[in-house]
Chains A and B, each alone.
Chain A
């Protein structure tokens, strides 16, 4: 699938970089040109995303086979010939998507588009803002389409610096603290990921043929072709085949302490991003200080990179360690759920409350994926998508009121229902979706997650289910404090949402309602992938690598 000789995934990933170059060349006085450039790039990403959605083959599983991956792009990127004492270094530019990544790609395109619209009223150094925003966009997209660990890592890190500046320059009063905290936490995770990545690299061998194709060891044992050379590899799919591990290497074998250690390093890297309790403390600061569009991106996409990393890398490469620590993973998920909800309940700052509700909702994703069965995984991935859309709505809602009232103190509001009817409508949809009202998308994914988790961890799930009541409690309490009761004198002249705000919230609202009633289009995308992943996690024996890996 190519446009102008370049694969569609490269387009969707690097379009923002093209946009960034355009933005950097435009004069900084032309603010509307800058905005429209970003919007056009984001809109094109949505178009490409829609194209992917239509052409995606729902029957292919992906996960650990190259033949199951779609829209593949694979080129040799770094190739250093071997010397007598060091093997050949071969890194691929390897992109492809399966049922898990396609959902995330769609979410990223959608949320980036909404975030660009939401950035319309930013005035401060707009040129720098959109340049960094678009670079961030490339980093996020790249993480979801990379199938080479090295490439994944590069994209993962590329996104750090723009985020630091976007929070640090355009954020609220405590932005410096929030930005550096975000940066340090994430980098701590990344260096651990880097070490695990290197350890994996030196543990996995494959054969490379003169044309650059990789072949698993099992394949080579069946019959080697001419000029095949044994190399180490960063290819994620090769790492998922236990047969490729070099006997006696650092991470060879099953259930060894080194494997647990590497799994733990990766887990911390991803858990910081999710964030899973107790690695969550950067999140409230970052969210509260970030400008609205960046909060939307942060909650909508960035947090998903953590759970995506667990699903794409940790689980399929270390199914043994995953099984061994499944209960602990579920426990952390449940703690995040309950703890996040309880802390959210105590907040009087609107944005902080939403931030903690994110911790709680991402806990549901973690609980769902720890179940190791199809329902739980489906719930987890669908919840990732739904949390992206719903929380994006919630942050937009906070932004709307903050732009007008310049305060986020929940106790200062009241009686806004009649003052801002459209706002009340959007907020009600978002809040009910967040608390899991049947008929809205959040319900389905939470239900699936809990159903799946109940089959594996009954007690934990029952404790976790308490969260639903807590969530309903704090969400309804917010609605009450903002909309009901007498209208304070000072808010008499608040205006309702304008067209731009209505458009953003209506778009997301329609998606939330639509997938609440008819989730099949999304569920179909990921179904066969998650079946395969569940089988892999439960039995540990992945399907044999297909030829031409």
Chain B
């Protein structure tokens, strides 16, 4: 037994590392009150160590703590995304003028960032409904606090409160769904539920209707985390009000955790283990519960509404919030196809989304720190005054649109390929047409940056070497992965394995 536990603990090392970082950050904050950079450096180191420990888990396929958490290549991939986002966001936070205003204590900020990351990493691995719920709550509670961290800004408090209220409602719904699921199957473990479900479903209409309700309620919890329409209402306000660093973190890491958890929930719980004669790499869901159609509807709604509403936004943070809703929609299409190819496509998409979305938010942050505004109208003439920054932002936005030769194109290509290959042609057409709408609002930013000029008096934005270096670090993969994407695709293809599924 103790052998088991020791083994489990060694597989839990990345999470342990981030927890220790959290504790160390709080302690360091007590000692180095006057120099917040010490805490930042400590947390950065903690994230890097966590990342290295994750690298050591390549190829592991296990379940730890009596089935509470799965450690498989799928979870490791999403944890890596969370950690990479964490590293970049810590760097952003060190640079952010908004956060580093005089008199603000940042010790708790970094500690909460670690807590949120821990929650998201647990979300990626949780294979028990209760564990899932705890993971969601851990990441959400930290996120509520973080999004209200600049509390003197009125938007920030509003954002935090809205986030809390929506979060409370959706986790309440999810908890209700979990209780129904437990009532039906008598278990909280995903695999045990899966084994119990065929018998439940054979019980007839009432049972399968209850299951549908339970599934929809659980979907509300996931949909809230990945900000899919119609659970997206918090997103624009929170993204606009929160500090940009936190917005960036939520838009990537929180989505990654949410997607990982959602995929695991649907794939492990509702897979039809007895299905025969399926092409390699595809699976069937249990008869009697049509969650695929539900997810397809969510995908179409998220893409279309996210993109159409983004067209009308004037605040770039808000615009990126709606665009992130649309991106959640694109990625949801990868869930619909029920194949490893779809999963790999989502992972490829996350791999590129990490760089392009964080890059876009970083540029917005650098500009907002200087101009004090995120209004698109304030971007006039930036292309002439700060060419490198403007070109970098343009590259990230082009990549978000999905035009070659940027990485965003590869993400779209893989998703569309998965859709067409599995016969979801109409969904591919909807997604493709949506990227044309998306172009329209991204181009508004180009237009203001390059096509319109302001009175020449306004000064250019000068960047420190660290800021330039951070931009280059984000730019290189955004461009390189568009021209040579073999490593990313190989990594994604190697990471589709979920514990407990064939």
Contact = CB atoms under 8 A, between A and B. Distances in A.
Interface in B429-449: 429, 432-433, 435-436, 439-440, 443, 446-447
A168 B404 contact: no
A202 B432 contact: no
B384 A157 contact: no
Contact of A161 (B384, B403, B412): B403
B224 interface: no
Size category of the B interface is 35 or more
Interface in A164-218: 164-165, 168-169, 175-176, 179-180, 183-184, 187-188, 191-192, 194-195, 198-199, 201-202
User: Taking chain B's interface residues, is the majority helix, strand, or loop, or is none over half, making it mixed?
Assistant: helix
A89 B490 CA distance: 10
Contact of A250 (B282, B420, B432): B420
A506 interface: no
Contacts of B417: 198, 201-202
Interface stretch (B42-50, B108-116, B242-250, B337-345): B337-345
A512 to B, nearest CB: 36
B432 A195 contact: yes
A192 B447 contact: no
A192 B485 contact: no
Nearest to B437: A184
Interface in B253-312: 279-282
Contact of A89 (B282, B421, B489): B489
Contacts of B451: 165, 168-169, 175-176, 179
A81 interface: yes
A84 B435 CA distance: 31
Contact of A158 (B404, B435, B486): B404
A285 B53 CA distance: 57
Contacts of A54: none
Given A183-B439, A187-B439, A198-B420, A86 B341 contact: yes
Nearest to A249: B421
B320 interface: no
B58 interface: no
Given A89-B489, A161-B403, A184-B440, A191 B433 contact: yes
Contacts of A198: 413, 416-417, 420-421, 428
B450 interface: yes
Contacts of B409: 157
A78 interface: yes
A183 B397 CA distance: 15
Nearest to B429: A195
A469 to B, nearest CB: 40
A170 B222 CA distance: 47
A83 interface: yes
Contacts of A125: 384
A239 to B, nearest CB: 15
Contacts of B32: none
B280 A165 contact: no
A154 interface: yes
A528 B409 CA distance: 37
B446 A85 contact: no
A184 B280 contact: no
A184 B429 CA distance: 16
B483 to A, nearest CB: 8
Interface string B400-418: 0001110001001100110
A183 B432 contact: no
Contacts of A160: 403
B340 A86 contact: yes
A304 B383 CA distance: 32
Contacts of A184: 436, 439-440
A86 B425 CA distance: 19
B436 A187 contact: yes
Given A187-B439, A188-B436, A199 B403 contact: no
Nearest to B494: A83
Given A85-B341, A86-B340, A195 B420 contact: yes
Contact of A80 (B398, B405, B435, B490): B490
A194 B281 contact: no
B493 interface: yes
A194 B446 contact: no
A279 interface: no
B484 interface: yes
Nearest to A125: B384
Contacts of A169: 450-451
Interface of B: 279-282, 339-341, 344, 384, 398, 403-405, 409, 412-413, 416-417, 420-421, 425, 428-429, 432-433, 435-436, 439-440, 443, 446-447, 450-451, 484-486, 489-490, 493-494
Q: Which 10 A-B pairs have the closest CB atoms?
A: A85-B281, A191-B432, A85-B280, A154-B404, A168-B451, A157-B404, A85-B340, A198-B420, A80-B489, A83-B493
Given A86-B340, A86-B493, A169-B451, 4 more contacts: A157-B409, A187-B436, A195-B425, A195-B432
